[in-house]
């Protein structure tokens, strides 16, 4: 394989990886907004019932750690009784979850 072929192959792999990554805004609106609202405030009927945090609040954002948010998205959340509050994001790659955490950060006012 010559150098030009290697470069084109690598470029193709990178392009596929970029295209395959989910759009975090679209993912949030599709899977999270029912509870968290499209603005991240958590003021939906379901969000209020579950006690969703207001991600537009700078104080809430300050207490939100990226690794904890990643774990919650990856593994889901349960209450003290073991009842599921949020299902795990099993269909998302680790990079997609990281992008979703970064998107949630954009709600801070």
* pLDDT tens digits for range 46-97: 999 999 999 999 999 999 999 999 999 999 999 999 999 999 999 999 999 9
Residue 4 lies in a domain: no
Q: Is the pLDDT of residue 106 over 80?
A: yes
Give me the number of domains the chain comprises.
1
pLDDT of 9 reads: 53
What pTM, to 2 d.p., does this model score? Answer: 0.78
pLDDT of 12 reads: 52
pLDDT of 97 reads: 97
Residue with tokens 């750690």: 65
Residue 14 lies in a domain: no
pLDDT of 22 reads: 86
Which residue range is the domain that position 44 belongs to?
22-105
Containing 67, the helix (H) or strand (E) segment is helix 66-75
Q: Do the Cβ atoms of 2 and 74 come closer than 8 Å?
A: no
Residue 59 lies in a domain: yes
């Amino acid at each position: 394989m010559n150098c030009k072929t290697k470069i084109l192959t690598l470029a193709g792999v990178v392009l596929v990886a970029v295209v395959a990554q989910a759009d975090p805004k679209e993912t949030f609106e599709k899977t999270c907004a029912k509870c968290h609202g499209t603005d991240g405030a958590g003021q939906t009927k379901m969000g209020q019932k579950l006690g969703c945090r207001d991600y537009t609040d700078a104080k809430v954002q300050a207490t939100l750690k990226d690794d904890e948010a990643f774990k919650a998205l990856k593994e889901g959340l349960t209450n003290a009784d073991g009842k599921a509050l949020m299902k795990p994001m099993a269909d998302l790659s680790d990079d997609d979850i990281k992008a979703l955490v970064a998107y949630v950060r954009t709600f801070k006012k």
